[in-house]
Amino acid sequence: MSALSVNPPAPTLPRRIAHLDMDAFYASVEWLRYPQLKGLPMVIGGGRRREDELLARLNAERPERRWTAADLAHIPVDFFPRLRDYAGRGVITTASYAARAFGVGSAMGLMKAARLCPQAILLPADFDEYRRISRAFKQVITDIAPVMEDRGIDEVYIDFTHVPGGQREGGRVLARLLQKSILQATGLTCSIGVAPNKLLAKMASEFDKPNGISIVHEADLATRIWPLPCRKINGIGPKADARLQAHGIRTIGELAARERAWLIAHFGKSYGAWLHEAAHGRDDRPVVMHSEPVSMSRETTFERDLHAVADRAELGAIFTRLCERVAADLARKGYEGRTIGIKLRYADFKTATREQTVTAYTQDARLIRQVAGQCLKRVDLTRPLRLLGVRVGSLRRQGEGAGFEVSKRPFGQNRPAMNASESIATTGWLF
């Protein structure tokens, strides 16, 4: 075969990565159920939805007709509960864009939010429905673009590089197809940013919300990325941003102007080097289709502050349920772990965490509760509590390995697992 007959290698396609973020996801799912609330200030939080609660109250208070699940879209707007009437310790899961205009946002206490936007409609969360819709929109994506990284209930990364339409107009053609297909399948909108990497794609997905598409190329760095505040970089939190501002660095462009050596000297070898790379829009992380969880946890915020002595029985019951739910999560997903920990948040919002590593991997609720109870001996239980959580980490797939390892921690090395006859309600708990 002559050299002239050999086909030249195919040119390498430029990398095109998308970040897809559903628009006000929980609120949008509720609008499918209650379209009469669309566009109104609305927050979700304060508890979980009980299917018939609203209808039962409606039938009791407005008996002129029989209200059923088929009438949800016709419930009068003035019947829905308002944020101003809420009393409790709950926090916001999400807020509609109309509510966000008043300064209301996710993770804000509902009582504080009520002062900012008292007229907002308050709905309880329906996580079963949110998960169902989440699975539906992700199935639409993988049917079209199979290289997808799941980043949570309402966002994903997608590798557009080799997907038909993924290079056309910088990825806009494929992004339009995804938006249209998700809308048809779920009735929901999403915003998509397409860029050379995950770092820039995540920033781009925020440029044109809701229902927007933003395309960023390497040549756009100076005009579209550098004018943004440093906090827009995923990985720069409030503390790091405050340190940057103390040095006169407020924008990503100002961060990019600092020498790598200066950033390392002031922020450490690893983080300083990363700041330099991020400010210049460099990110080589691949889109990972499957990743193992690091830990599983359950936590709850109390309606009122609880005390370890005065509310011992109530706290004990709550703690049991948390341990059982973590154990059930582990079993359902096929994992077991060795590091068991607790999280407490006091009435003054200060948080304490403790953990302990045991000799054998487990998903047993009794052992989880016993070890978590030992962790409680190492925290202050004289102060009122507003939150309690249980966590299991150092996970592996159930049944992998030999089954036993020696812990490097002093606690639990020689502690035997509990007997099947022992009650998780009476072992290893201080309350």
User: Phi/psi class of residue 45: alpha, beta or left (left: φ > 0; alpha: ψ in -120 to 50)?
Assistant: left
Q: How far apart are the C-alpha atoms of 336 and 392, rounded to whole Å?
A: 8
Q: Which residue's structure tokens are 């609120």?
A: 27
Please report which helix (H) or strand (E) contains residue 252, including its range. Answer: helix 252-257
List the structure tokens of 231: 């906090």
| Residue 17 phi, psi dihedral angles, 5° rounding | -115, 135
List the structure tokens of 177: 């197809």
Q: Which residue's structure tokens are 């999280």?
A: 343
In 3D space, the residue among 193, 37, 59, 191 whose CA is nearest the CA of residue 122 turns out to be 37
Q: How far apart are the C-alpha atoms of 366 and 425, rounded to whole Å?
A: 9
Torsion angle defined by CA atoms of residues 114, 120, 121 and 127, in that order, rounded to the nearest 10 degrees: -70
- The residues facing 298 across adjacent strands are 390
Among 155, 254, 336, 355, the active-site one is 155
Contact 19, 215 (CB under 8 A): no
Query: How many angstroms separate the Cα of 155 from the Cα of each of 79, 148, 190, 193?
Result: 33, 10, 9, 11
Which distant-in-sequence residues (6+ apart) come within 8 Å of 224 by Cβ? 207, 216
Contact 104, 114 (CB under 8 A): no
In 3D space, the residue among 344, 345, 374 whose CA is nearest the CA of residue 358 turns out to be 374
Specify whether 155 is catalytic: yes
Q: How far apart are the C-alpha atoms of 86 and 280, rounded to whole Å?
A: 46
List the structure tokens of 161: 């590089």
Q: How far apart are the C-alpha atoms of 187 and 184, rounded to whole Å?
A: 6
Which distant-in-sequence residues (6+ apart) come within 8 Å of 404 by Cβ? 359, 360
- Going by their DSSP bridges, the two strands 190-195 and 17-22 should be labelled as antiparallel
Which distant-in-sequence residues (6+ apart) come within 8 Å of 298 by Cβ? 322, 325, 326, 329, 389, 390
Q: How many CA atoms lie within 13 A of 217 on its CB side?
A: 8
Q: What residues act catalytically?
A: 155
